Amino acid sequence: MNDSTRNMRSRGKRSKRHGTGPIAFFVPLFIIALGAIQLVSTFHTYALNLAQLNDLKNQEAALITKKQDLENDIERWNDDSYVATQARERLGFVFPGEKAVRVQHPEAVTDTSEGTAKTKSGTSDGKVLPWYSELEYSFKKADERPSKTASGSQSGDTGKADGNSGSATDTNSGDKQ
């Protein structure tokens, strides 16, 4: 074999290699791209499953807390003193020998409608008395007789029993004379 034949054979091999170069480059690139897409898809699924797992753990913790609360409620309702307290508060039950007093209109007794108006207008001193002091004050106020010199108002109070314009106090004081 001479040199010219060798050159032709080597040129033919070179041309075949040169023609297969782009295919040999794009096939591995395509395989790498498919592998990357598969990895991204796998990590995305993993992230979604992890988020779902965290949500389920949060739900489990909430349900465990709710279960503990319900078990505590069951334990409380098994206690006789708690049941008696709830019956007194919610249903108004009393023990034998006790007398139940139910106030139909508590705002009339505690004077909350005028008390809030005084607080809003700023004429009240803003002092809140304990319940027993308010009870004592209301007893003293109920026992007081209206003064004969009062002409419809007494020391800042309106003297209105039913929301009328003070004529009830004037007629009452006039009837006593």
Beta partners for residue 157, in sequence order: 154
Residue 9, φ and ψ in degrees, nearest 5: -65, -40
Q: pLDDT class for 135, splitting at 50, 70, 90?
A: confident
Answer whether residue 10 shows pLDDT above 80.
no
Rg of the chain over Cα atoms, rounded to whole angstroms, equals 46
- Using a 10 angstrom Cβ sphere, with 0-12 exposed, 13-18 middle and 19 or more buried, the burial of residue 89 is exposed
- Greater confidence (131 vs 127) lies with 131
Contact yes or no for 173/146 (Cβ under 8 A):
yes
Q: pLDDT class for 162, splitting at 50, 70, 90?
A: very low
Beta partners for residue 154, in sequence order: 157
**Residue 13 has what pLDDT?**
53
- d(Cα 169, Cα 155) in Å, to the nearest integer? 14
